[in-house]
Every structure is written in C-alpha cells, then in structure tokens.
Amino acid sequence: MMRLDLEIIPTSYQGERALLVRDFLGLIRDPVILQGEALGLVGLIDGKRSVRDIQVELIRQQKGVLVDCDFIEKFVQELDSAFLLQSHHYLEGKNRILSEYGRLEVRAPSHAGVSYPARASDLKLYLEAIIKAAEGEEPEGSTGRVLGLVAPHIDLESGKKVYGKAYGAIRRLNPRRIFLLGTGHSLDDGFYSLTEKDFETPLGRVKTDREAVRELKRAAGTAVSASDISHRGEHSLEFQLIFLQHLFGPSFSIVPILCGSFVPLLERVSRPSEIAGVDSFLAALRALWEEQRSHTLVVAGVDFSHIGPKFGHRERASSLLLEARKHDQSLLKALGAGDVQAFWAESRKVKDAYNVCGFPALASLLEILPGVSGRCLDYEFWKDEPTQSAVSFAAVVLVAGR
C-alpha cells in the first residue's frame, strides 16, 4: 500500500488530472507526479489485494481489456524502489534517516535561500522591511501585559502584511524564554513532537531549553512522538524564529513544540486537557510557564482554513470562502475571549470541514495561558489560482486579563 506519511495533492499536469506526491521524510528528494493509468493502479495497491486481484479489477474497470500481470508487478516494483510504498524497503530507509537525524545536536535551517534570504545582512533588511510596512498597527485598547502572539506560517511573501503586524506588535518586549508552538505538518505518530536540538538560522543559533523539553517528555509519555524528525523540514517554527531573532537577538531560549492532530477526538472530548497524555503534557507546560511567567512569551505559528481541491474539497475555494471565513471568525472570537471550550466546540460543529491546521496549537495555547484575552490585528486569505484553493491566516496579540 502507499505510504501513510506522504503529502498527496490533487492537481493537473499538462492538462490532465494528476497527483503531486511529496515526502517530508526525505527518502524521495523531488516531488513525484502520478497521472494516467498510474492513478487507477495506485488506488488498488492497498496491501490486501494480490497482483491477480488487481489484474481482475483492472480488467473489470476497462470492460474486458486484458492487463498483463507482469506489467502490474513491474509497476509495483517501481513504486517500491521509489520509496512510495509502505514496505520493508521503505522501513529500512526510514530507520536510517531517523537514526542519522537523531544523532545531530543542531537543527539546520531548511528554508534559508528558498523562502527567505540566506545571508544574514539580506535577511535582516528583508524582515525589517516587513515589520516597518506595518508600523502603527499595535493593538489599541489592549493594556494588559503581553503573554502570547499568533502569527502565520504561510509563505513569507504571501503573508508579509500579516507577519508585519504580528511582529511589529511585540518588538518592544524582551522575553528570556519563548514557548514556540507550530503545526507539525508531517507529524503522524503523536499529539506533539519535541526536540532537544538547538536551532540554526542565518541570524545565528538559538538555544533550546533542554531541561524543559525533557520535563515535558517525561510528563507526556506516548503523547509525544518518539522521534523529532518532524522538526527537520518544518517551516511553521522556522519562520517565527527568524522574526524573533531579528527582534530580540540571541537573548532568549526556546521550547520548540510541534502539534499533531486532535480531529479524531473532536466528538469525544470538549478540550485538549481531557485527552489522556495531553492533559499531563499541558499541565507540565503550564507549570513551566508559571515558573517564569514574567519572562516567558508564547508564540504560535499557525494558519487557519485550507479550502479547495488542493486540500481535499470537491468545490473551488471561491464556493467555500464565505463559510470558511465565518468559521475562522468564530474561532478568533473564542481565541479573543480565552475560551478553549468554545474554540473546541466551533471545530466540532463543522467537523473540521475547513482544515484549520492551527487548531491543535491554538487549543493547546488556550490551555496554558489562563485569563488571557486577544485582539485580532489582521486576517487575510491567500488564493492559489492554479489549484482554485485558498488559505487563511491571522495576527493576534494575547494579553493578561479580560
């Protein structure tokens, strides 16, 4: 069967329906495009059917046209050689990568020179221009002490106006430690992923609070992934980190946390702290925050709704835009009120129909910041015309008190 940890995006190629396959693990270096008869074959390779079963089904689908077993076997072998199948070959490659990455002490930048300038001097100019363009946008009427920030993790160019408003609102702070929460796009074996690695960017190295990370691992048990490989290519934290380094220099440490999915449990519980393992993780995180609350900032790098064919919808984003926006605004209202149960209930109501990737990180944030209130500084949709899809994102500053 096809690997469960691949990102598969419906698209078109040379005017025909296709699937774009990406591999966060890195066994497949370049994206793979599947189209034509490969699409039908891939759907039949499910780990249950034999080659003969696949042949019979293809003949049925093609109304009696003979399909040779040797062709099917060769196709399966090619998929396996390309690390597309959940097989012994794949598991060997995966274990090798996990072992190699686990031995590293520093997480290298994965998007420098691709999503942002690789030279420190160019990056500083780039980030300062983004923030300066949003000057004067600090939240009016928010007089409490700033506890947290919600910022996008969408492509920097696509979201630079909202990034600028988010980070412009906290540039006068001086945190010593930052809890950095983000979406674990490749995290599939735990509710959270932690790493003890320091983080390197063109602006230097940021120390990870290893003692805090170890304490969280002890508290959470199996709720935390056994591997930190999901951090390797993840941009949701990296994009926040370069802004934080630009604003605060080398004066802070981080607790890097990637969040997996809560969607399977939406109907069973009413908040994250009711999930076994997650409850103790959040309690430990809350205790760590209480210890240094005056010197700790919580930052969530998240996006909101993901709509259109690229994200599994049959409808174009334009048809879903109004309802997705309504859903986002309800989430932002609950976030602004610091109401984790209302936040959860809104996602349960729509059954996560709009693929809000930031839901786990934001729900977790609300559990660890008591008595918080928030103000939305900006909110936008980015539209991907080629796939008729769209992504929403926001900037929110969170302060103590109502």
How many whole angstroms separate alpha carbon 355 and alpha carbon 377?
A: 22
Whether 146 contacts 399, CB under 8 Å? yes
State the DSSP code for 311: G
Whether 269 contacts 277, CB under 8 Å? no
Coil/strand/helix, residue 175: coil
Q: Which domains does the chain have, with CATH numbers?
A: 6-101 (1.10.10), 106-400 (3.40.830.10)
Q: What is the pLDDT of residue 143?
A: 56
Q: What is the pLDDT of residue 266?
A: 96
CA-CA-CA-CA torsion sign (217, 222, 227, 233): negative
C-alpha radius of gyration, the chain, whole number:
22
Record the tokens describing residue 311, joined without a space. Answer: 């994200």
CA-CA-CA-CA torsion sign (209, 211, 217, 219): negative
Q: What is the pLDDT of residue 55?
A: 87
Termini Cα distance of the chain: 51
How many whole angstroms separate alpha carbon 20 and alpha carbon 310?
A: 10
How many whole angstroms separate alpha carbon 194 and alpha carbon 224?
A: 7
Whether 167 contacts 151, CB under 8 Å? yes
Q: What is the pLDDT of residue 61?
A: 79
**CA-to-CA dists, residue 393 to 142, 159, 176, angstroms:** 21, 8, 27
CA-CA-CA-CA torsion sign (286, 290, 294, 295): negative
Q: What is the pLDDT of residue 402?
A: 66
How many whole angstroms separate alpha carbon 337 and alpha carbon 401?
A: 10
Q: What is the pLDDT of residue 139?
A: 47
**CA-to-CA dists, residue 202 to 174, 356, 373, angstroms:** 21, 30, 34
Which run of H or E residues covers position 345? Answer: helix 340-350
How many whole angstroms separate alpha carbon 5 and alpha carbon 9?
A: 13
> Dihedral of the CA atoms 297, 159, 22, 206 (nearest 10)?
-30
Q: What is the pLDDT of residue 223?
A: 96
**CA-to-CA dists, residue 344 to 10, 65, 320, 372, 380, angstroms:** 29, 51, 21, 16, 22
Closest CA to 184 of 244, 262, 115: 262
Q: What is the pLDDT of residue 140?
A: 44
Closest CA to 113 of 83, 56, 156: 156
Whether 231 contacts 154, CB under 8 Å? no
How many whole angstroms separate alpha carbon 329 and alpha carbon 321?
A: 12
80 phi, psi to nearest 5 deg: -65, -45
Question: pLDDT tens string for the chain (402 positions)?
Answer: 888 888 888 887 888 888 889 888 889 988 889 888 788 788 888 888 888 888 888 888 777 777 788 888 888 898 999 999 989 999 999 999 999 999 999 999 999 999 999 999 999 999 999 999 987 645 444 557 899 999 999 999 999 999 999 999 999 999 999 999 999 999 988 999 999 999 999 999 999 999 999 999 999 999 999 999 999 999 999 999 999 999 999 999 999 999 999 999 999 999 999 999 999 999 999 999 999 988 999 999 999 999 999 999 999 999 999 999 999 999 999 999 999 999 999 999 999 999 999 999 999 999 999 889 999 999 999 999 988 999 999 999 999 976
Whether 35 contacts 21, CB under 8 Å? no
Record the tokens describing residue 207, joined without a space. Answer: 């120390």
Whether 175 contacts 296, CB under 8 Å? yes
Whether 241 contacts 168, CB under 8 Å? no
CB atoms within 10 A of CB 189: 15
Q: What stretches of 176-227 show up as alpha helix (H) in DSSP?
A: 210-220
**CA-to-CA dists, residue 250 to 113, 257, 303, angstroms:** 21, 19, 27
Say what the pTM is. Answer: 0.89
Which run of H or E residues covers position 70? Answer: helix 69-81
Q: What is the pLDDT of residue 334?
A: 97
Q: What is the pLDDT of residue 204?
A: 97
